């Protein structure tokens, strides 16, 4: 286990505000119901797996069909991003949030170059759900198993995840889109305003739509259509829709508005899942699970299940806010809060580290792992470590701030 090198996510992510972003959306009315979260105890399936949440496309044709598939048991790299900065002139405007944006985000231009570099270095995106699955042993006891991946010869598997894809209210007019929407073509687009206040509907300024387009142009960058893992909190809703409850407002008007936001986001969730995206919990309140009491961890998990799990469906993936492991440490012990998350169906628990570490726990059926962070911190100070993915000097966006001791770089 390598020690964490950065506490992730600025405190600004904890800004709690219930102000709506106030713009009429363009998403069509929903015409389906998303599946309710099931708390039914797991039963082994005919092939022995339980809690087998797999990517639907992964069992279908793997592109390109002509490639020879070979077994892969090596390290599956895992790289994660926050929402990239679309308008650097807003994010890097010298205000109190500038330093956080510089540290924890890449810009859209950097993000595009990083995807191109990953592709050029023969990485292929895989779905994290296909890397680990739960089985039952002869006595019926569950355990997690690392699957042997079948990938095109010469390719290297990578999981890509995206934290806090909530289009938080603190990000409004700070250089980011406002939310995801579905266009008339049925595809995902982003909606927002440019710095001049013009409405912008685009597929070129958001992490989701940029990756969708990249995979469409380079189908051999994705195994079975796998895209990214979207890690969601709940306190500002999800995907730019204010679906959260408010303990201070139980008025019918608030609930009616919340229900209309839920109706608008459901087709977005469905479209994302249909096109290879999948979801993880990132806690409801972006709380520090390392230091939280059991009752706080449990209450937060219950609220996430009710307000986010109910919208995205079952997931076995938990991505720690700040990379902070449950109960102070889940590497050497399995605490009460870890067991509670386990009882909710979570099996893979991801933190942050200096390599794509993973470990199957022995005393409970679970996996703990680390992800590497693609952001300003590592662009500035970890060029060598990330060279296997991209060269910071080549992807660097000159729009990043400079001229202060806060904004040095090691190359
Ligand atoms: Zn976060």
- The answer to whether 373 touches 382, Cβ cutoff 8 Å, is no
Three-point CA angle 314, 319, 324, nearest 5°: 145
| The CATH number of the domain covering residues in 74-407 | 3.20.20.370
Report how far ligand 1's centroid is from the alpha carbon of 159 (Å): 17
Report how far ligand 1's centroid is from the alpha carbon of 163 (Å): 5
Report how far ligand 1's centroid is from the alpha carbon of 259 (Å): 25
Report how far ligand 1's centroid is from the alpha carbon of 290 (Å): 14
Residues measured by CB to lie within 5 Å of ligand 1, the ion: 9, 163-164, 321
Mean pLDDT of the chain: 88
Token pair for 89: 């002139």
Per-residue pLDDT, 228: 98
Chain centroid, CA 182 distance in Å:
19
Per-residue pLDDT, 67: 74
Report how far ligand 1's centroid is from the alpha carbon of 9 (Å): 5
Task: List strands edge to edge, sheet with 188-193.
Answer: 179-182, 188-193, 199-202
- The answer to whether 393 touches 376, Cβ cutoff 8 Å, is no
d(CA 406, CA 396): 17
Report how far ligand 1's centroid is from the alpha carbon of 288 (Å): 10
Report how far ligand 1's centroid is from the alpha carbon of 82 (Å): 8
Give the length of the chain.
411
Report how far ligand 1's centroid is from the alpha carbon of 6 (Å): 12
The model's pLDDT over 207-244, given as tens digits with 9 standing for 90+, comes to 999 999 999 999 999 999 999 999 999 999 999 999 99
The model's pLDDT over 75-100, given as tens digits with 9 standing for 90+, comes to 999 999 999 999 999 999 999 999 99
Report how far ligand 1's centroid is from the alpha carbon of 56 (Å): 27
From first to last of its 411 residues, the chain has per-residue pLDDT tens of 433 333 344 433 333 332 233 333 333 333 333 333 333 334 445 455 554 455 554 443 444 455 799 999 999 999 999 999 999 999 999 999 999 999 999 999 999 999 999 999 999 999 999 999 999 999 999 999 999 999 999 999 999 999 999 999 999 999 999 999 999 999 999 999 999 999 999 999 999 999 999 999 999 999 999 999 999 999 999 999 999 999 999 999 999 999 999 999 999 999 999 999 999 999 999 999 999 999 999 999 999 999 999 999 999 999 999 999 999 999 999 999 999 999 999 999 999 999 999 999 999 999 999 999 999 999 999 999 999 999 999 999 999 999 999 999 999
Report how far ligand 1's centroid is from the alpha carbon of 166 (Å): 10
Strand partners, 81: 162
Report how far ligand 1's centroid is from the alpha carbon of 35 (Å): 26
State pTM to two decimals: 0.87
- Kindly provide the residue ranges of all beta strands, DSSP E only, lying in 247-312, ordered along the sequence: 278-281
Sorted by where each begins, the domain ranges of the chain are 74-407
Q: How far is CA 3 from CA 6, 141, 327, 373, in A?
A: 9, 32, 16, 14
Report how far ligand 1's centroid is from the alpha carbon of 106 (Å): 14
Per-residue pLDDT, 31: 30
Report how far ligand 1's centroid is from the alpha carbon of 72 (Å): 30
Sign of CA dihedral 185, 186, 188, 189: positive
């Amino acid at each position: 286990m390598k020690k964490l090198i950065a506490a992730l996510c600025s405190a600004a992510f904890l800004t709690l505000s219930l102000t709506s972003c106030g713009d009429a959306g363009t998403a069509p009315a929903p015409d389906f119901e998303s599946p309710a979260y099931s708390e039914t105890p797991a039963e082994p399936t005919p092939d022995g797996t339980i809690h087998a949440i797999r990517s639907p496309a992964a069992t279908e044709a793997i592109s390109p069909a002509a490639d020879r598939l070979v077994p892969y048991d090596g390290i599956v790299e895992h790289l994660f991003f926050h929402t990239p900065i679309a308008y650097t002139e807003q994010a890097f405007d010298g205000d109190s949030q500038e330093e956080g944006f510089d540290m924890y985000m890449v810009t859209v231009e950097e993000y595009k170059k990083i995807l191109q570099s990953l592709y050029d270095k023969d990485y292929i995106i895989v779905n994290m759900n296909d890397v680990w699955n739960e089985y039952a042993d002869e006595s019926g006891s569950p355990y997690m198993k690392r699957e042997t991946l079948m990938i095109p010869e010469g390719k290297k598997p990578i999981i890509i995840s995206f934290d806090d894809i909530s289009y938080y209210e603190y990000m409004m007019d700070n250089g980011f889109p406002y939310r995801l929407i579905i266009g008339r073509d049925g595809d995902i687009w982003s909606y927002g305003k440019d710095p001049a206040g013009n409405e912008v509907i685009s597929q070129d300024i958001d992490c989701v739509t940029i990756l969708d387009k990249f995979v469409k142009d380079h189908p051999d960058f994705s195994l079975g259509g796998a895209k990214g893992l979207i890690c969601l909190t709940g306190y500002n809703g999800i995907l730019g829709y204010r679906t959260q409850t408010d303990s201070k407002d139980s008025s019918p008007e608030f609930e009616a508005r919340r229900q209309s936001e839920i109706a608008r986001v459901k087709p977005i969730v469905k479209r994302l899942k249909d096109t290879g995206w999948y979801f993880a919990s990132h806690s409801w309140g972006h709380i520090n699970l390392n230091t939280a009491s059991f009752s706080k961890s449990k209450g937060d998990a219950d609220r996430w299940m009710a307000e986010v799990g109910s919208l995205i469906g079952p997931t076995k993936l938990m991505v720690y806010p700040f990379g902070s492991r449950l109960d102070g440490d889940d590497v050497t012990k399995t605490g009460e809060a870890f067991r509670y998350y386990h009882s909710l169906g979570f099996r893979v628990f991801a933190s942050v580290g200096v390599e794509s570490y993973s470990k199957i726990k022995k005393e409970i059926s679970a996996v703990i792992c680390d992800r590497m962070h693609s952001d300003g911190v590592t662009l500035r100070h970890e060029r060598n470590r990330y060279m296997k993915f991209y060269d910071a000097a080549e992807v660097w966006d000159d729009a990043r701030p400079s001229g202060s001791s806060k904004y040095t770089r090691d190359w």
